[in-house]
Structure 1
Amino acid sequence: MRKIVHIVALLLEVLSVFAQSSFKNGPLKVSDNHRYLVHQDGAPFFYMGDTAWELFHRLNREEADRYLKRRAEQGFTVIQTVALAEFDGLNTPNALGDKPLLNNDPTTPNEAYFKHVDYIVDKAAENNLVIGFLPTWGDKLFKSSWGNGPEIFNPKNARTYGQWLGNRYKNRQNIIWILGGDRTPRDGSEDVATWRAMAEGIEAGVGGADKALMTFHPQPNSIQDGGSSKWFHQDSWLDFNMHQNGHCRDTPVYDKITVSYNRTPTKPTMDAEPIYEDHPVCFNVLVIGFLPTWGDKLFKSSWGNGPEIFNPKNARTYGQWLGNRYKNRQNIIWILGGDRTPRDGSEDVATWRAMAEGIEAGVGGADKALMTFHPQPNSIQDGGSSKWFHQDSWLDFNMHQNGHCRDTPVYDKITVSYNRTPTKPTMDAEPIYEDHPVCFNVKDLGTSNAYDVRLYAYLDLFAGAHGHTYGCHDIWQMYSANRPAVNGPHIYWQEALELPGANQMKIVRRLIESRPLLDRVPDQSLIIENNYAPAERIQATRGTDYAFVYSAAGKPFTVNLGKISGQSVKTHWLNPRTGEAKDSGTIPNKGQQKFTPPSSGYGQDWVLVLDDLAKNYPVP
């Protein structure tokens, strides 16, 4: 029996050696000039990595074969993947039904699980691919606000686990060891000591520091930190530095690389986790406008269920708890207020301020929380949220509310908050919703439509709002057959997703983003007919080299030219209902010019787009 076991073990070793023999130029090391990686024979090695973090954990052997073969064909040279994976890697079995550790103990790895890891490492070698081998994702050391954990590592068991891994893979030539797992070592913790112990264990397991090529994968940090070099540059086990982008555009990672590149002693450096293809930019595919509470929990008023539970003390505590919980979420805008007007002579203002103070404390500072206030409708001179909080440093931009009525001059209210000092962005956060009882009076005024919501989007934005909120009466309450309804919704929320007004919001966004956004200002002096009532309103806005004029009912208007750059102006009519743009010719950029929209009447709104001809802007 022992002879059979010995023969099987020998066969496995032979197969491993055969697989590794196809890794043509031998193991990797740092080049003599300490700037690059080379094979043992001096042949240059270019690190072209792919992040397949869940490869060991989620793919079966057939899937892994396909993945590795294709990545090799595409020219990749390194596959970065994790033994103790991010997505509940300790308690959710791999594709073959095995967990990596016995009883979540790093000192007792599961042989069955690591046989699958062996297979993938060797299959990578057959494809002449290096495995960027992460012993663990960082949540097993520091769970932070994402990752499943649990936190199982300390310096002692990290060394044991590292040595076990090093010994197991000491004959695999296609491994680069990557510690860190997307975590920043915490000040005052054992994190640095634990990673150092794991590195020490790996070196002991493979038989010496010269037999392990090793680095550290951090979270994004500041330019002066220099990625992994902040903590480990002087450590002999750290052979080269890594940085991370954070999946954002326009991040000066090149400056961070310069810092680690220039550190002494000289070590190679790289961006190990840049922005991914097809990834939410800065994790911000959709922003959540996060209301900590609806206003009835502060002031029940005549609607809402309450009860009234907040005061300044518990509001601060709750705000701080929320801020701390979501401090690492980059896609949150905090919205206080919850559709309530602070009452004179009450603690309302103090309570909202306390909640804002708590949120800022929880997220780690005022610069880490973007915050505003959602009021009920108020008068033109009040200026929305600016009435109470404009001088408060926590209020980053103002909000208004329409009240779900037609013909409300919200553009004038926006003008008030737009012109307040200090300058802050402003917007209509609750305009008239689509399919909503107009002014809550369906009997006399009927229900709002796509034109109602479209009209306020253009009027508000052209009056100076930085953004806009769409709403739908059927969707805000997620109306369905098995839920109670409020104020007579008509269709279930799933069907309401396709209402025309919602689909027309993309036309608004496309127009605003089609021209330089940050220099756009409201400018009613651009037109002669600049003071019509809401139903027939003409509203104008412009940048340095373009202008938009909205005609709510297709009424003609006269433009004062010469307010944007250029000798000639290219004009288009944009149909807000369909998004179609019609060429309307080129005119000299001087004097006055009358424009008549292609159609007029109720629901026949149009946008005139004027561009400096020399800018050659695309059709809107």
Structure 2
Amino acid sequence: MPRSAASIEKSKALEIRVHPEGRHLVSGQMDEPFFWLADTAWELFHRLDEAEAKLYLDKRAAQGFNVVFVVVFAEHGGCTLPSRAGHWPFLPLDPSSETYQPNVFRPNPAYFDFIDWVVDYAATVGIRIALQPVWGNYVAGVYHRIEHWFDDAEAAYSFGHFCANRSELKPLLRYPYLPWLNGGDVVRHWFDDAAFNARVGLPVKEPHIAVKDYDPIFEAFAEGITAGEAAYRGDGSKPFIAFHPAARWLPDTPKAISSHMFPKSKWLTIDGIQSGHAVRNTFIQPKDETYGKLNTFTAQNSVDVVREMYETSGKDGSLRPVIDLEPHYESTHYSFKPEEPFWKASNIRQGAWQAMFAGAAGLTYGVNSVWQMNNLASTSHPPINHHTASEFNWFDELDLPGARMVSLVRTWFLARPTFFSRTPDQSFILSDTFDRDTPEDDVEGKDAKLIAGTRCRQGKWLAVYSPEGAPFELDLSVLPGHKATANWFNPRNGVTTPAEPVDLNSGAVSVTPPSTGSYEHDWVYYLETTSVHI
């Protein structure tokens, strides 16, 4: 169905933009502060019907989420299972064949009818659907080792343009002002299937290419999206495009940080990472003389990478907001291994608060069953045949405690009196912050205990996050004035309680949280000046 003018205006009102100072996001006509709170629902278009999608979107909107990630060409079963309505994302190359092979230059309008409905309905409840045109396995193969249907810049440009403009339906433009995701759990440089198969003893397809730079493909997606939106923007503004990377990368290639992989790409709106799901390096890593050991991020140390992005992003002078686009997911086994423990709400909470205190512009949340829309009783779309398969139904895990707790982070930060002047700062914490930078301390979870600081550049307030309730000492000289109110915020339940009053003239203060000992005793300490002389 064509979108109405009113529907397009609703989407325009939800457009996300970068604040002029480059570190924060805004939305709305008055450039109101925008705290990115995203959920991952990659398989929504592929596995849900309208009633189920409405249930999911209503729940996430009520919980405070304002962005949802969905992929058009699904990662799992994109070429073996049609959508719930029985449609494939592309018309078949050979309609007479019993095996579906997509003609990637001919998107299927019937498949997009449901996408249209989801985008429209999400807008009515305040959610922006962040569209990922294709999963990265169709570009580089990566961990799936399947056909590279989009290993072609012309196809990437064509489909990016179609998604952004729906050119076959002019002048009824479809998806204006939505955020876009390039990539899809992939990196710019990767070995091809032949290289992988040669190492593990599987058949090798020719030609053999050791490592390929897929930059032309990702640039083409971005160029197609930009050109598609240009038809209705008209004011020279550019679309919001992030790059969703993997958590691993090859030796002697750029880190899996968006700005490291695409340092000259003007389309990159924000800097992003996937800090991933591994508490330690438990994946099988290919070793040989050519590749050595794959590099990987460690989930509990996600704050390290957020800090690195914040410190290095925008070396060309144009600062970018930074976001962890895929941190460890709640109710998900470490490294997706059934013998490993589950990531708990306390892990999600610790990573979220530390990321925000390190300068992130928002958070991304995820649950293993939810991103894959797992339905254990489904006969049409059974659980995925993959090591990441979930043990639970998606609709039974919408109310996990982590979803409520990340929403509390959003509420707390939006309530600060000077949202845009927030800056990460460890220097005013005089005691040990448990931040280990030396190689001998580079162990799993090394910075999960980090006591993190952030403050207002104008000297109005400061805050400290203590993930295990450890005590700390503060230099009060960063807050000009005489008096300050102090309180404790409990990130587990959202309750604020008064703390001991602070005399700013004392120079320093020792602070002991109300409880201590583990991640179940984390606290946020907040000081706000009541008399300021600047």
2:319 equivalent to 1:462: no
Aligned to 2:3, which of 130, 133, 146? 146
Distance 2:227 2:476 in 1: 50
Amino acid at match of 1:588: D
Q: CA deviation at 1:468?
A: 0.7
Counterparts of residues 594-609 of structure 1 (less than 5 Å): 594-603=510-519, 604-609=521-526
Q: CA deviation at 1:390?
A: 3.3
Assess if the C-alpha contact under 8 Å between 1:573 and 1:583 holds in 2.
Answer: yes
Residue equivalent to 2:272 = 399
Residues 282 and 301 of structure 1, relative CA distance in 2, 3 Å threshold:
closer
Distance 1:593 1:318 in 2: 58
Assess if the C-alpha contact under 8 Å between 1:390 and 1:398 holds in 2.
Answer: no
Q: CA deviation at 1:592?
A: 1.6
2:389 equivalent to 1:497: no
Distance 1:504 1:585 in 2: 25
Aligned to 2:345, which of 450, 454, 457? 450
Residue equivalent to 1:229 = none
SS at match of 1:582: strand
Residues 434 and 362 of structure 1, relative CA distance in 2, 3 Å threshold:
same
Kindly provide the CA deviation profile for residues 514-544 of structure 1, in whole angstroms up to 9, marking residues without a partner as x.
1122111111112122343323210111113
Kindly provide the CA deviation profile for residues 332-378 of structure 1, in whole angstroms up to 9, marking residues without a partner as x.
11111101011165241111011101100000066241011011125
Distance 2:342 2:141 in 1: 27
Residue equivalent to 2:451 = 538
Residue equivalent to 2:180 = 334
SS at match of 1:573: strand
Q: CA deviation at 1:328?
A: 5.9
Distance 2:356 2:140 in 1: 31
Unaligned runs of 5+ in 1: 1-87, 89-144, 148-180, 185-218, 221-246, 252-278, 616-620
Count of aligned pairs between the two proteins:
352
Residue equivalent to 1:440 = 336
Distance 1:609 1:327 in 2: 47
Distance 2:508 2:433 in 1: 14
Deviates more, 1:525-534 or 1:291-300: 525-534
Kindly provide the CA deviation profile for residues 403-432 of structure 1, in whole angstroms up to 9, marking residues without a partner as x.
213463222222222223231111111000
2:528 equivalent to 1:611: yes
SS at match of 1:371: strand
Distance 1:389 1:285 in 2: 31
Residues 393 and 488 of structure 1, relative CA distance in 2, 3 Å threshold:
closer
Residue equivalent to 2:134 = 293
Residue equivalent to 2:300 = 408
Residues 295 and 182 of structure 1, relative CA distance in 2, 3 Å threshold:
closer
Counterparts of residues 118-137 of structure 1 (less than 5 Å): none
Q: Which has the larger radius of gyration?
A: 1
Residue equivalent to 1:582 = 497
Residues 314 and 475 of structure 1, relative CA distance in 2, 3 Å threshold:
same
Distance 1:374 1:597 in 2: 37
2:235 equivalent to 1:389: no
Distance 2:486 2:479 in 1: 13
2:233 equivalent to 1:360: no
Assess if the C-alpha contact under 8 Å between 2:351 and 2:448 holds in 1.
Answer: no
Amino acid at match of 1:384: I
Counterparts of residues 264-283 of structure 1 (less than 5 Å): none
Residue equivalent to 1:123 = none
Counterparts of residues 95-174 of structure 1 (less than 5 Å): 146-147=3-4
Q: CA deviation at 1:578?
A: 0.5
Distance 1:596 1:479 in 2: 44
SS at match of 1:524: coil
Residue equivalent to 1:549 = 464
2:237 equivalent to 1:371: no
Assess if the C-alpha contact under 8 Å between 1:398 and 1:427 holds in 2.
Answer: yes
Q: CA deviation at 1:312?
A: 1.1
Amino acid at match of 1:410: S
Distance 2:392 2:145 in 1: 23
Distance 1:519 1:396 in 2: 20
Distance 2:374 2:350 in 1: 25
Assess if the C-alpha contact under 8 Å between 1:572 and 1:584 holds in 2.
Answer: yes
Amino acid at match of 1:586: P
Residue equivalent to 2:383 = 484
Residues 478 and 331 of structure 1, relative CA distance in 2, 3 Å threshold:
farther
Distance 2:451 2:383 in 1: 41
Assess if the C-alpha contact under 8 Å between 2:160 and 2:225 holds in 1.
Answer: yes
Q: CA deviation at 1:479?
A: 1.2
Distance 1:569 1:281 in 2: 42
Residue equivalent to 1:350 = 216
If the length of structure 2 is used for normalisation, what is the TM-score? 0.60
Q: CA deviation at 1:283?
A: 6.2
Assess if the C-alpha contact under 8 Å between 2:122 and 2:128 holds in 1.
Answer: no
Residue equivalent to 1:191 = none
Unaligned runs of 5+ in 2: 13-26, 32-119, 167-171, 191-210, 280-298, 436-445
Amino acid at match of 2:516: S
SS at match of 2:220: helix
Amino acid at match of 2:320: K
Residues 306 and 573 of structure 1, relative CA distance in 2, 3 Å threshold:
farther
Distance 1:281 1:341 in 2: 29
Residue equivalent to 2:163 = 322
Residues 183 and 402 of structure 1, relative CA distance in 2, 3 Å threshold:
closer
Distance 1:342 1:182 in 2: 39
Asked which structure has the greater RCO (Cα within 8 Å, sep 6+), the reply is: 2
Amino acid at match of 2:426: Q
Residue equivalent to 1:26 = none
Distance 1:296 1:519 in 2: 40
Residues 381 and 393 of structure 1, relative CA distance in 2, 3 Å threshold:
closer
Residue equivalent to 2:366 = 471
Residue equivalent to 2:88 = none
Residues 305 and 582 of structure 1, relative CA distance in 2, 3 Å threshold:
farther
Amino acid at match of 1:484: P
Assess if the C-alpha contact under 8 Å between 1:383 and 1:413 holds in 2.
Answer: no
Distance 1:570 1:525 in 2: 21
Superposition CA RMSD, Å: 3.2
Assess if the C-alpha contact under 8 Å between 1:283 and 1:330 holds in 2.
Answer: no
Q: CA deviation at 1:331?
A: 5.5
Q: CA deviation at 1:589?
A: 2.1
Distance 2:357 2:254 in 1: 19
Percent identity (aligned): 28
Kindly provide the CA deviation profile for residues 266-302 of structure 1, in whole angstroms up to 9, marking residues without a partner as x.
xxxxxxxxxxxxx999968111221111100101122
Assess if the C-alpha contact under 8 Å between 2:354 and 2:465 holds in 1.
Answer: yes
Residue equivalent to 2:41 = none
Amino acid at match of 2:483: S
Assess if the C-alpha contact under 8 Å between 1:300 and 1:308 holds in 2.
Answer: no
SS at match of 1:525: coil
